[in-house]
Amino acid sequence: MADLKDEINELLSDLQQVRDELKVQLHLAKEDIKDEWDEVEGNLEKLESKARDVGDTAKEASEDVAEAAKLLAEEVKNGFNKIRSRF
């Protein structure tokens, strides 16, 4: 279970780093990117919540939460990449 939490935390750390880098460049973005950014940012906040839940739930439920977190992480990553490609 620790490995699973470590994996989620590593994904979260990577995504937070990308988010921080993009925040620096966001002020240069057009307004239409702002709406997309808000959606991805909201998904990252959901992922952060799921990452906290992984250690607080039973093993079976934790695996379900972790799988959902991985899918959400992929969605966040794709959203960040889409925004990054517009710079």
Closest CA to 25 of 34, 12, 35, 13: 34
Closest CA to 78 of 46, 36, 49: 36
Q: How far apart are CA 41 and CA 26, in angstroms?
A: 12
Task: With 0.95 as the threshold, say if the pTM is over it.
Answer: no
pLDDT of residue 23: 83
Decide: 86 and 33 in contact? Cβ < 8 Å: yes
| Three-state SS at 63 | helix
pLDDT digits (tens, 9 = 90+) for 13-71: 999 999 998 888 777 767 778 888 899 999 899 888 878 777 666 566 667 777 888 89
What mean pLDDT comes out for the span 69-75? Answer: 90
User: Domain spans of the chain?
Assistant: 33-87
Confidence of residue 78 (pLDDT cuts 50, 70, 90): very high
